[in-house]
Amino acid sequence: MANHKLKLLYILKQLTDESDAQHPIGAEQILQYLSEHGIPCERKSIYSDIGVLKDFGYDIRYIKQPQKGYVLATRHFEPTEIQILCDAIGAASFISPRKSKELTEKILSLLNENQVQEVKRLVRVENTLKSVNEAVYDHITVLNFAICETKKVKLLYRRRIIGDTNTVEYEEREHTVSPYAMIWSDNHYYLVGNNVKYDNLMVLRVDRIYKLSVLAEEARPFSEVSPYSEFFDSADYARKHFNMFSGSPEQIELVCKKELIEPVLDRFGENVRISRLGDDRFILFTEVAVGEGLLSWIMQFGAKIRIRKPESLKKMLTDKIEEIRQSYII
């Protein structure tokens, strides 16, 4: 009886690991596979075992081309989906090289052996700049717990500086934070929360956190330091804060050349309010955090974007232009 139960599992494993539309598994191959695992059986029992697996819900089909055999036709993930996930892991700067490799291998295990080789030929992560912080996984778990339980956390935050000997050194500061959300932006993971010393939101990169503990103290309600009341709207916050720079959300109006419609919609979404202005321009109306992040985004387009409102943003831009101009005066 035990062998019969194992036989079903081994048949399912072989179909999972080896079969696809280009590589069907014949009954003789299944018999040989079972024999190699110490389970001899008759050919006719294979058909009834596959029938049991199909009755249970597995999409096992018999095909005749390119050769006769059985395939597990439906899987949780298609190769293209796995490739996208692997590429995302490779691009994620906050995941260390070792963790990236481990996670990629786990995801690839969802495919059969032939598909794994195909995807591996297309996925390359070795040349991506990666974090050296191996504790990121653990910190994400701890922060998730603290957010769900509405508890404060104490953390040590590390930033790189140039030392007196022109080498890279680290500056460390301890913070007590009420955590509200974690946001993936520009291939980094960020923690958004409130530092107990201030009445606003702060943003910290998770891969720069090196010591982390959950406190028994209740977190400060985010409604006291943010515009959100019922829930912390991570998507809205990420949309309004360029490159996760802090700043106060304000209504802005930008006059843009018509060829900027794609980058504008990529950044603000297709539901943002725009209005045609003549044949070659349009006006963008939206609410975003006015700060260095927004300024950098605008400046990359040069004269193709003109700030119409607010005046404070205009002044920031002219001041920045003058600062750059002065830096080139010898």
Identify whether residues 253 and 218 lie together within a single domain: no
Identify whether residues 144 and 214 lie together within a single domain: yes
Instruction: Flag whether pLDDT at 129 surpasses 70.
Output: no
Identify whether residues 266 and 201 lie together within a single domain: no
User: What is d(CA 298, CA 278) in angstroms, rounded to the nearest whole number?
Assistant: 21
- pLDDT value at residue 94: 80
Indicate the average pLDDT of the chain.
87
Query: Domain span at residue 59?
Result: 2-72
Q: Classify residue 25: in a domain, yes or no.
A: yes
According to DSSP H, which parts of the chain are helical?
2-18, 27-36, 43-56, 79-91, 97-108, 113-122, 136-149, 234-240, 261-268, 292-299, 311-327
50 and 70 Cβ atoms separated by less than 8 Å: yes
Q: What is the per-residue pLDDT across 203-221, written as a single tens digit (0 to 9) for each?
A: 999 989 989 999 999 999 9
Q: What is the per-residue pLDDT across 65-124, written as a single tens digit (0 to 9) for each?
A: 888 889 888 888 888 888 888 888 887 878 888 888 888 888 888 888 888 887 877 666
| Domains of the chain: total | 4
User: In sequence order, what DSSP letters do the residues of 298-318 get, joined into one string?
Assistant: HHTTGGGEEEEE-HHHHHHHH
Instruction: Flag whether pLDDT at 147 surpasses 90.
Output: yes
Please give the single-letter amino acid code of residue 171: E
Q: Classify residue 129: in a domain, yes or no.
A: no
- pLDDT value at residue 1: 45
User: What is d(CA 182, CA 192) in angstroms, rounded to the nearest whole number?
Assistant: 6
pTM equals: 0.68
> 240, 256, 282 — which closes off a domain?
240
